[in-house]
């Protein structure tokens, strides 16, 4: 079985020679048929020239260069498309992920039969300003997705080839690859505790804003995966609920008005709450109808992932 090591990078010229040498040493020692795919995400330093030099000494190295910085998700998606291995392992280029983990991750896919193995940086060498928001992010993701992983955003992961060829990673969705894979039908997902080293060169390329974007992406992913082919189930349910609440409020106020004759309905603030609820309910219901029309006219509305076929 062949191994593909996919490494997205952005301004990592100092760490690349050491990383390539480390991966080569580990794979050679364990007799693994491997390729390294570097994806240069629009680096502004000499990263691409360094990769070109490494390629001259190691033909197992392949590389893709973006014209500008598109983000880690785009880099991983292109790396997945180019990977030719039966097992695909991703890792960051900053030397914080250890290539020594490659053999055990490889065996968990090839021998143990897992679809995806996610690294768990149990002992992290990151500032507390990254560790605390990360724990909160992972807790929320576990709650929403139902996938019991401790570290969704760990760059060190191993995949069966079928997984990377049947999922699409875009935007900032690289944080949720286990969630995307699970909803695509690849349910044999586990995690492995991995080593995490302090950053040796340069500085981190991510700020605190990634956690806000990450949470919004999770909401988007939840909607797209669960309701993209049946949006009326979401908008219709919310619309009916809002309209029902407003209608009940209006009925109660009308009964009190005609039964007791003590006030005008418009004198009660709750009257406007009920009115707004019914308007919002109708708008949500209309949005559901429009979304259904768009969904039914989509070219991939009946595009399903077929795992196997027999006698066809």
Percent pLDDT > 70 in the chain is 80
pLDDT at site 185: 86
pLDDT at site 91: 94
pLDDT at site 106: 96
pLDDT at site 294: 74
Task: Please check the confidence at residue 297 and state whether its pLDDT lies above 70.
Answer: no
Q: Tens of pLDDT along 261-274?
A: 666 776 778 888 88
Torsion of CA 16, 19, 24, 25, to 10 degrees: 140
pLDDT at site 179: 87
- pLDDT bucket at 116, cuts 50 / 70 / 90: very high
Q: What does each C-alpha distance from 158 to 11, 45, 56 come to in angstroms?
A: 24, 29, 27
Whether the Cβ atoms of residue 282 and residue 243 lie closer than 8 Å to each other: yes
Between 63 and 211, name the one with better pLDDT. 63
- pLDDT bucket at 101, cuts 50 / 70 / 90: very high
Average pLDDT of the chain is 84
116 phi/psi in degrees, rounded to 5: -150, 135
Residue 195: how many other CB atoms lie within 10 Å:
15
Q: Tens of pLDDT along 129-186?
A: 666 777 777 787 788 778 888 888 888 999 999 999 998 888 778 888 998 898 888 9
pLDDT at site 30: 94
CA 30 to chain centre: 31
Q: Which residues pair with 36 in a beta bridge?
A: 5, 61
Cβ neighbours of residue 13 closer than 8 Å, sequence gap 6 or more: 43, 45, 46, 47, 49, 50
pLDDT at site 81: 92
pTM score, whole prediction: 0.74
- pLDDT bucket at 222, cuts 50 / 70 / 90: low
pLDDT at site 276: 92
Find which of 16-20, 197-201, 221-225, 282-286 is predicted with most confidence, using mean pLDDT.
16-20
- pLDDT bucket at 211, cuts 50 / 70 / 90: low
Task: Please check the confidence at residue 302 and state whether its pLDDT lies above 90.
Answer: no
Residue 159: how many other CB atoms lie within 10 Å:
29
Between 252 and 158, name the one with better pLDDT. 158
Task: Please check the confidence at residue 207 and state whether its pLDDT lies above 70.
Answer: no
3-state secondary structure the chain: CEEEEEEEECCCCCCHHHHHHHHHHHHHHCCCEEEEEEEECCCCCCHHHHHHHHHHHCCCEEEEECCCCCCHHHHHHHHHHHCCCCEEEECCCCCCECHHHHHHHHHHHHCCCCCEEEEECCCCCCCHHHHHHHHHHHHHHHHHHCCCCCCCCCCCEEEEHHHHHCCCCCCCHHHHHHHHHHHCCCCCEEEEECCECCCCCCCCCCCCHHHHHHHHHHHHHHHHHHHCCCHHHHHHHHHHHHHHHHHHHHHHHHHHHHHHCCCCHHHCHHHHHHHHHHHHHHHHHHHHHHHHHHHHCCCCCCCCCCCCCCCC
- pLDDT bucket at 203, cuts 50 / 70 / 90: low
Whether the Cβ atoms of residue 157 and residue 181 lie closer than 8 Å to each other: no
Listed range (6-20, 144-158, 226-240, 270-284) with the worst mean pLDDT: 226-240
Domain boundaries, the chain: 2-227, 231-296
Nearest-angstrom CA–CA distance, 44 and 99: 25
Per CATH, the homologous superfamily of domain 2-227 is Spore Coat Polysaccharide Biosynthesis Protein SpsA; Chain A (3.90.550.10)
Task: Please check the confidence at residue 229 and state whether its pLDDT lies above 70.
Answer: no
């Amino acid at each position: 079985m062949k191994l593909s090591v996919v490494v997205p990078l952005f301004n990592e010229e100092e760490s690349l020679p050491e990383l390539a040498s480390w991966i080569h040493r580990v794979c050679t020692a364990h007799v693994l048929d491997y390729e390294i795919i570097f994806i240069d995400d629009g680096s502004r330093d000499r990263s691409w020239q360094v990769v070109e030099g490494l390629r001259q000494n190691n033909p197992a190295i392949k590389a893709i260069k973006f014209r500008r910085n598109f983000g880690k998700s785009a880099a991983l998606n292109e790396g997945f498309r180019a990977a030719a291995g039966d097992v695909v392992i991703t890792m960051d280029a900053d030397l914080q992920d250890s290539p020594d983990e490659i053999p055990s991750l490889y065996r968990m896919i090839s021998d143990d039969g897992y679809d995806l193995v996610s690294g768990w940086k149990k002992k992290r060498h990151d500032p507390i300003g990254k560790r605390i928001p990360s724990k909160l992010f992972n807790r929320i993701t576990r709650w929403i997705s139902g996938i019991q992983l401790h570290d969704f955003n760990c760059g060190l992961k191993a995949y069966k080839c079928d997984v990377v060829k049947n999922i699409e990673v875009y935007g900032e969705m690289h944080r949720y690859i286990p969630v995307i894979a699970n909803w695509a039908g690849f349910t044999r997902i586990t995690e492995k505790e991995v080593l995490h080293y302090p950053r040796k060169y340069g500085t981190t390329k991510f700020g605190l804003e990634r956690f806000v974007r990450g949470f919004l992406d999770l909401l988007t992913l939840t909607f797209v995966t669960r309701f993209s082919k049946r949006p009326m189930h979401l908008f219709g349910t919310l619309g009916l609920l809002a309209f029902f609440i407003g209608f009940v409020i209006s009925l109660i106020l009308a009964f009190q008005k005609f039964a007791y004759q003590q006030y005008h309905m418009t004198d009660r603030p709750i009257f406007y709450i009920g009115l707004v609820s019914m308007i919002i309910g109708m708008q949500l219901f209309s949005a559901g109808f429009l979304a259904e029309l768009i969904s039914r006219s989509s070219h991939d509305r009946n595009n399903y992932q077929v795992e196997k076929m027999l006698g066809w």
